[in-house]
Structure 1
Amino acid sequence: MIGRNIRKTLMELSSQMPVIALVGPRQAGKTTLAKLTFREHAYVSLENLENRNFAHSDPLQFLERHRNSSGIIIDEFQHVPTLISYIQNHVEKQSVKGQFILIASENFLHSSSITQGLSGHMALVTLLPLCISELDKEGLLPNSIEEAVFKGSYPHLYSEFVSPTIFYPNYILTYVERDVRHMSNISDPATFKLFVQLCAGRIGQVLNTTTLAQDCGISIPTAKSWLKLLEDSYVIFQLPAYKSSFGKRAVKSPKIYFYDTGVACSLLGIENPSQAATHYLFGALAESYVISDFIKYHYNRARTPQIYFWKDNHGHEMDCIIVQSTRVCALDIKAGKTISEQYTKGLNYWKALTRENPTTSFVVYMGSEYMPTTAGTILGWKSIDRITTPPSEY
C-alpha cells in the first residue's frame, strides 16, 4: 500500500473519539487505509445487499453479530444511515475509543441527522486521492506537470499501473449510474453527465450558475442542486472569494475546480499528457492540481481548509489564498516552466495593496527552481509543501 499522510491523524483521533467517520470519493483508498490502521476490528460492507438488508431490518442484531471486542469497520455506511441512532445509544452507554469506524463516499457534514446524532462522539476525517508528497515519498510522482495533471491522483493508477484512459471513463460511468442515483433521484443521467462535462469546461473559472443551467438546458435550482451533489460526492469544489477590507470591487462569486484533474481531463476528452499540455484549459487544470493539493494537506491533518482566491474588477488576481493561524499566504500559479520577470508582477501588486510581508507571497510555476525575490518566493510545483509546512518540518 502507498503510505498515506492521514494515517497518523486517524490513529490520534481514534484514541480520543468512539466514532470515526472516514469520508471521501470512491477509490481514494478509504477501505484499505481503515483495514490497515484498525487490523483488529471486524469489517462489514453495506455494499453487499444481504448485509444492507440485515442492517435495515434488524440494526441491533446487525451490530451485535459483526462487532468484535476491538470494534467494527462499517463500509459504505451511507446506504443505511439509520444505524446512527443505534450507534449513538451504544456509545452513550459504553464509550470505547475508536470502536466504530464508519466509511462513506458522501460527505457526512451535510447530513444533520448524523452530525447531530453523534455530536461530541464523532470525529470526521476526509481522505482525498494521493497528494504530491505521498507520491514523492514512494518515488511515484510523475516527472512533468502534464503527466501529473493527466494521470490524476487516484491510488489504483499508481499501485496497479492502470491506464487513465481505462480507469477514468469507467470511474465516471460508475459514479453517474450508481452513486448519483443513490444520492439523488435524477431521472435523466445523460443530461447530468453533460452537466458534469460542462463543469469540467469551466474549471478555474468564476462560477455563473445561470449560464451553466442555460447551456445544459436545466433550471437554475436544478443546476444548484447538481453542483451540491458533485461537491458532496467529492467531484468538484467551489473555491470561495477572499473577503477583505481592501477589495471593495472584488469578485464575490466562487470559482469551480475538480478535486482530481484526471477526472476533469477525461471529461474534456484529453487522451494523453501531450494533449493536456496544449489544451486551452491546461493553465486552469494546473491550478486545480495545485490548489487541491493544499486542500489535501489540511484534510490530512483533520483541519478545515481556509482556502480562497482573490480577483478585482480590473483583472488583478491571486489564484490561491491560504489562511493559517499565524499568517495569510498568497499564491500566483503559472503554467509555464521558465521563470519570467513578469512572474512577480502580481506579487508586487499584492504587496502594494495589502502591505503583507513578501515571505508569505509565492509564485508556483511548473518548473523546478527555487528563487526568493523581493516580492515573494518562486518555487516549482513539486515543492509546494514548503508553503504550508513550517520550516522545522521540511
Structure 2
Amino acid sequence: MIPRQAQITVERLARGFPVVAVTGPRQSGKTTLARAVFSNKPYVSLENPDEREFATQDPKRFLARFGVQGAVIDEIQRCPELLSWLQGVVDERQLMGDFVITGSAQFELVASISQSLAGRVGRVELLPLSLGEIRAVDKLPSSLGELLLRGGYPALYVRDISPEDWFTNYIATYVERDVRQLIAVRDLGSFQTFVRMCAARTGQLLNVVSLAADCGISASAAKQWLTVLQASYIITLLRPHHQNFGKRMVKSPKLYFLDAGLASWLLGIRDAQTLMTHAARGALFETWVVAELHKQRLNQGATADLYFWRDSGGHEIDVLFETADRLVPFEVKSGCTFASDWLTGLKKWQAISGTKSGISHLVYGGSESYKREGVDVHSWRDMGSLLS
C-alpha cells in the first residue's frame, strides 16, 4: 500500500465520530486505506450480490453480525437504506470509530449520510495520489510530461500497466457501471463523446449551451450529465469568487478534471513527448495544479475553498484560496523558464483588490523554486503543502 496523507485525518475522525465515511472516485484507494487503518475490523463489500441482498432484505441482522469491533462496509451507496439502521446501532453502542463506510457516488451518498447520520459521521474525500504521496514511495515520474500523462490513480504506480491500457478499461467500466447506476443513459456512446468533449474544455469557462451543441444533445441533458461527472469525482467546477472588487465579474464556473492523466487520455494523448507540445498542455498543467490543491485540502478533512477570479476587463487569477482573513492568489504557468510578465496578473489583482501585501503564489513547469518581486515561485516538483 502507498501511504496516504489522508490516513492521519481518518484516524483523527475515528476518535471523535462513531462512523467514518471515505468517499471518492473508483480506484482512488478508498478500500485499501480503510482496510489498512482498520485492519482489526471485519470487511464486507456491498458489490457482492449476496451481501447486498442480505443488507437490503434484513438490515438489522446484517449489522448484528458485527460485534464490538464494528466493520468496514464497502460501496455503501449500493444499499443507502442501510444507513438508517446503522444510525440506531451506533446510537445504542456509543463507540467511536465503530463503523467505516466507503462509497463512490458523491451526491446521493452525501445526501443519505446527511439525513441518516447527521452528527455521527466524519467524512474524508479521497482523490487519486498527490504529488507528495507519489514522491514518498520514490515513484515520481522523471518529467512533468510523464506525470501529466500518468495522473495519480494508485494502480498506475503499483502495477505493471500502461496508462493507455488502464484508462481504456477504467472509462469502459465507469460508463457501464457508475453511469447506469446514477442515470438512465440510453445512448452510452453519446455519453462517452460528452466526456471527451468535457476533457477538451478542462481549465476553461463552462458554456453549457456550447458544450451541448457540440455533442448534439440538449442543454438540460448536458447539465444532468455534468452532475453525473461531478457525482462520480471525474470533474469539479471551480466557482468564481463572489467579490467583484468594483468590477463586473464573470459568473460562469470553470471546468476541471480531477485527474490530468484521465483528461490526457480522453484527448488522445498517448506519450509524454506529444503532451509537452500539445495545444492543451497549459490547460492540463493547470488541471493538475488545481487537482493538487483540492487534494491537499481534502486530505486534511477540510473543504476545498478554492475559487477563481476574472473580471469583464480580462483580468484573471487562476486560483484563489479563501482563509479566515484573506484571499491567497495562485497563478499557473506551464512554461519551464520564468518570464517577468507572468506576474502581471497578480499585480493587477493586488491593485484592483486593494491587497498590497501577503503571500502570492506562482506555480510553473520549471525545476527551481524561489521568490521574485514578492511572489513565491514554485516548481511543479516543489508544490508541497501550499495550503497548510
**What's the TM-score, normalizing by structure 2?**
0.97
- Give a deviation string over 1:130-159, Cα, whole Å, max 9, x none: 011111222112222211111000011111
Q: 1:40 to 1:350 in 2, by over 3 A?
A: same
2:17 equivalent to 1:17: yes
- Give a deviation string over 1:280-317, Cα, whole Å, max 9, x none: 11101000100110100010011011101111222221
For residues 69 and 251 of structure 2, the distance between their equivalents in structure 1, rounded to whole angstroms, comes to 49
Could you say what the CA RMSD is over the residues aligned between the two structures, in angstroms? 1.4
For residues 310 and 374 of structure 2, the distance between their equivalents in structure 1, rounded to whole angstroms, comes to 18
Deviation at 1:5, TM superposition (A): 0.4
Deviates more, 1:87-96 or 1:147-156: 87-96
Corresponding position of 1:41 = 41
The 5-angstrom pairing of residues 133-144 of structure 1 reads: 133-144=132-143
- Give a deviation string over 1:317-359, Cα, whole Å, max 9, x none: 1111111234321011001001112221222212222232454
- Give a deviation string over 1:2-55, Cα, whole Å, max 9, x none: 110000110010111001111000110111100110011110011111111111
Corresponding position of 1:350 = 349
The answer on whether the counterparts of 2:103 and 2:109 sit within 8 Å (CA) in structure 1 is no
Corresponding position of 1:340 = 339
The answer on whether the counterparts of 2:140 and 2:147 sit within 8 Å (CA) in structure 1 is yes
Corresponding position of 2:86 = 87
SS of the counterpart of 2:135? helix
Q: 1:137 to 1:205 in 2, by over 3 A?
A: same
Deviates more, 1:53-62 or 1:224-233: 53-62
The answer on whether the counterparts of 1:130 and 1:154 sit within 8 Å (CA) in structure 2 is yes
- Aligned residue pairs, count: 388
For residues 254 and 290 of structure 1, the distance between their equivalents in structure 2, rounded to whole angstroms, comes to 17
Aligned identity (percent) is 41
2:61 equivalent to 1:61: yes
Q: 1:247 to 1:215 in 2, by over 3 A?
A: farther
- Give a deviation string over 1:114-173, Cα, whole Å, max 9, x none: 311110111111000001111122211222221111100001111113210110010011
Corresponding position of 2:129 = 130
The residue identity in structure 1 corresponding to 2:371 is: P
Please, which runs of 5 or more residues in structure 1 have no aligned partner? Answer: 390-394
Corresponding position of 2:164 = 165
Corresponding position of 2:293 = 294
Deviates more, 1:246-255 or 1:279-288: 246-255
SS of the counterpart of 2:308? strand
The residue identity in structure 1 corresponding to 2:86 is: I
The residue identity in structure 2 corresponding to 1:133 is: G
Q: 1:47 to 1:386 in 2, by over 3 A?
A: closer
The answer on whether the counterparts of 1:359 and 1:376 sit within 8 Å (CA) in structure 2 is no
Please, which runs of 5 or more residues in structure 2 have no aligned partner? Answer: none
Corresponding position of 1:254 = 253
For residues 331 and 113 of structure 1, the distance between their equivalents in structure 2, rounded to whole angstroms, comes to 35
For residues 247 and 264 of structure 1, the distance between their equivalents in structure 2, rounded to whole angstroms, comes to 36
For residues 35 and 102 of structure 2, the distance between their equivalents in structure 1, rounded to whole angstroms, comes to 11
- Give a deviation string over 1:206-259, Cα, whole Å, max 9, x none: 000111111112111111111011001000000101121415322111000000
Deviates more, 1:255-264 or 1:214-223: 214-223
**What's the TM-score, normalizing by structure 1?**
0.95
